[in-house]
Amino acid sequence: MLRKKNWLKSLNWCLGLILGLSLFGVSLLAQAETSNFSVRPELPKNQVDRDLGYFDLKVAPKQTQTLSIILVNADKVAHQYDIATNLATTGDNGTIVYSNADPEIDPSLQFNIANAVTGPKTVTVPAQRSKKVTLKLTVPEKRFDGVALGGINVQQRLATPKKGQAGVSVRNRFSYVIGLQLREQAKPTIKPELKLLGAGSHKVGYQTYISAHLQNPQAVVMSNLKIEGYVTKVGSSKQQLKTTKSQFKVAPNSRFYFNLGDGSQRLTPGKYQLHLQAKAADGTGQWRFTKAFTVKSTQAKSSQQSTTTTALPDKPVKQTNWGLIGGLVAVIVILVGLIIWVLSRNRHHRHH
């Protein structure tokens, strides 16, 4: 009877330890999905629409102005935050991207909003406190039409792990973006325009697509575009890589790739024609394009060898601590082995 009680005690202890470690791991992973800070703007008097949660300002040439944002650190420890203003660009997935610190500048851009904002690059906020951060906006002397669009990015710095803690801490990094839109007219009158710059093979990570290279050369945001496209081989009416995407958003004075298909369909070498049409949901514009392009044998071969699609994130990517997960799995495996050993040992004692 005593041996049976000891065996049950050992089994319960092992199971409890496994459960505790499992819950510990789940808790750490859950914490990794939670941001512990927030940012909000203090809207100034020249805000066009005060119901918006971002800066939408009517400005004048040579105007200087202070912009304020409130950074709240809800964590139990102090944190440092990196602050940068970026130009808005267009992602190939049809979203406006504010996180690109070194974007390709479109030749049509007259006013880069990233160069108009100065201020601290790093700030420290004590635990469970808030801090007002002021930035200086300087509008260029030359008048600009339409809108200038960008974003004020606030990103929490990762704390340097202490020696021996590399496999314990979950190192995710979160960021907030406050939009910044400037205009010199309350209602800009610029009409949207869409241009086709080219067509052909376009590589995204390890995947090769047939893509239309499109440009918005105007200082206006294009929202809710519906884009439809397909290709035909010269001498044939068969539609290939037929693709339709809705709710496309395009940043002012930017360019992007409209990828046809899902990357799994392959075109044989030869001459093709791209057919594309785009329409704004609000009726502000409609465009049709055709463009000839050639798929060479080397491009077709390269495309066939591509098996992986790389996503184009427009938000910060959370980093998973595989060291922590691997460590927890290893501990559970060891404890399962211990249970098996305890069961085997007690069975051996019963037989003797």
For residue 283, give the CATH number of its domain. 2.60.40.10
211 and 72, same domain (yes or no):
no
142 and 215, same domain (yes or no):
no
Residue 17 belongs to a domain: no
Per-residue confidence (pLDDT) for residue 283, from 0 to 100: 83
CA 139 to centroid of chain Cα atoms: 28
185 and 43, same domain (yes or no):
yes
| Domain interval for residue 280 | 195-304
94 and 205, same domain (yes or no):
no
Residue 312 belongs to a domain: no
Q: How many domains is the chain built from? A: 3
Does the pLDDT value for residue 26 go beyond 50? no
119 and 202, same domain (yes or no):
no
What's the mean pLDDT in 252-271?
A: 91
Residue 274 belongs to a domain: yes
177 and 207, same domain (yes or no):
no
The pTM (predicted TM-score) of the whole model is 0.73
Residue 1 belongs to a domain: no
Residue 260 belongs to a domain: yes
269 and 296, same domain (yes or no):
yes
Per-residue confidence (pLDDT) for residue 163, from 0 to 100: 58
48 and 175, same domain (yes or no):
yes
Residue 116 belongs to a domain: yes
Per-residue confidence (pLDDT) for residue 207, from 0 to 100: 83
pLDDT in tens, 109-154: 999 999 999 999 999 999 999 999 999 999 999 999 999 999 999 9
Residue 6 belongs to a domain: no
97 and 129, same domain (yes or no):
yes
203 and 106, same domain (yes or no):
no
Measured distance CA(164)–CA(299) in Å, rounded: 48
Residue 238 belongs to a domain: yes
262 and 135, same domain (yes or no):
no
Categorize the per-residue pLDDT at 305 as very low, low, confident or very high, splitting at 50, 70 and 90: very low
Does the pLDDT value for residue 40 go beyond 50? yes
